[in-house]
Structure 1
Amino acid sequence: MPTNAFALSRMLIAERSSLVRRLARMLGSEPAAEDVAQSLYLKVQRIDDDPPILNKRAFLNRLATNLATDWLRAEKRHDALFEMFDPTPDVPSDTPSIDRQMLDSERMRRFEAALEELPLRCRQVFVLRRIDGLTPGEVAARLGITVNAVAKHVRIAVRHCHARMQDDPDA
């Protein structure tokens, strides 16, 4: 084993606990500090004798700091990557399923067809009253009919649409 690697390995083993504590403060995690210390040990094993390292303690500390910085950058990239693609499966979606959307679309088509079967005046009254939300008095004034006629047309339209929707096997 080269002299630099041997001396750095002995120093790392002797000062491992204080180095891991310092790395844990930098990284915010003791398991991460242990991982970086292990990487440091492996890196130290590959150091050559040329050029000779004069201040081995400073070199070891700088190497540990660089590895910790690299670990933090990698962790930041990892978090950013998975944050972009996280579908958050624990959060239920408000969007109906495709099956539900298809069934609802088919029911809406059947309802619109039932409305089209109504006489024009009856359809106009129903749309103004139930879809547009006008009061019976407003519908009567707009169409020039009585409030009782509005109620009668709405009743006819509701019965007709209800009967047509009951014919639907998915209702």
Structure 2
Amino acid sequence: MIMQINTATLSEFNKGYEMAFKVVFDDFYKPLLYFVTKLVSDRQEAEDITLETFQKLFARHQDFTSGATIRSFLFTTARNHCLNVIKATRIHQHHLRNQPQSEIDTAEAEAAERQLEAQLISYLHNAIEKLPSRCREVFRLLFIEQLKPVDVAQRLNINVDNVYSQKKRAVELLRTAVNEHPEVMVLAGYLFSVFLSEIYYVLLHNMD
């Protein structure tokens, strides 16, 4: 179940309580790892970056004032780490193969595109986190874990009609959120990862 960082949990997190750390870790680990794996191709490296990001978060546990600031720190820190890894890899490859400047320029353009994709994915995760609890659970299970509606119904102990109803509500709310930021839709037109294309297809088309 997707948990929310409530006031009590946040207070305990700020004080450095281990159980509060576990709540935050359990809440954000899977979406953050998914986010990182879209930027770096190596699964082990993605896991290492994700864990290191949490270590940085926990080291600054007293600095956060809400679940939103925790989420923002995690995704921003992970994104920057990924981009540094991509840049370092490109530089290393250049030294090994003595790449011409044109290839370096292409690599930098690819890194810039990945940064845009990172921003877009981060925006999507933020928008999804703001959905009502049941909508968020249904949406995550359908589009992130890619379960079938009948499996979602069994997982949440609700009927299939309720799954479709919550899905429709989530789509409407996300579409409204995206319409308030047209620049997001412009970015989406250039980025075609499986995650983004599926989510944006849902936002652009009224799927029942």
- Which protein has the larger Cα radius of gyration, Structure 1 or Structure 2? 1
Q: Which bracket does the TM-score occupy, shorter chain normalised?
A: 0.3 to 0.5
TM-score (ref. length: structure 2):
0.37
Q: TM-score, normalised by structure 1?
A: 0.44
